[in-house]
Structure 1
Amino acid sequence: MPPLTEAETEAQISDILIRHNWYPVKTDAAMVIRGRGRVPRSHIPQGFPDMTYLLALPGTPLCLAALVETKTVTGKLSDAQVEKHAELRDLYGIRVHVLRDPAQALALVTEARRIVGLLHDRLARQGGKA
């Protein structure tokens, strides 16, 4: 059986996250048409992760966001991706999840459940609804 393509890997990962109530937003910066001359046509910078997934935080008006870059098992990040991921981490404390297989998507689901559980417990102790 040949290895999965990046598109097939992304489809499997998206399927898992969507089945666990994450909302997918395609943010593939490589597909954005950038500016004519000096007039920018997009605010998505090169190297930004391909996907953003959003998960509601019950009992709040907020959500969790996961920035996901999908790669094959042997796929490499571009120089622009390495730079943008480092900027997000160093300046904003945001980790980009480079996912290469469905098991990593399930690990993200598990971590989100842990965080939602902690929030639920905290809201319950404060008398809020979760």
Structure 2
Amino acid sequence: MTKPALTTKKPRKQHTPEFRQEALKLAKRIGVAAAARELSLYKSQLHNWRSKQQNQLSSSEREQEMSAEIARLKRQLAERDEELAILQNGRDILREAPEMKYVFIEKHQAEFNIKAMCRVFQ
């Protein structure tokens, strides 16, 4: 009776992020199979690294889209706040003649945006 041979696992080789970037650049230039042969890697490693890199890029794109959306919503909120302040200051003017609205706009032009006041009083 023979004992089963103990198999020792080779420690996994850790590649630096710089090495991975260079390997992906090489794979883009000469192809995945050729780059894998040249660097003594598996093709699947290069494919995995590429997909991880694309996921990271897409997440940064999502972050940029979200920050643009947040900025747009902040501008919109500021416009609504200004319109509300105009309405609170000029609530009696809404029922008055147009000349009174013009007087209000002229009087408060330093305080509020003129376009916003015109939009509110339409």
Scaled to the shorter chain, the TM-score interval is under 0.3
Point out which structure has higher relative CO (alpha carbons under 8 A, 6+ apart): 1
Structure with the larger strand share: 1
Structure with the larger helix share: 2
Q: TM-score, normalised by structure 2?
A: 0.27
Q: TM-score, normalised by structure 1?
A: 0.26
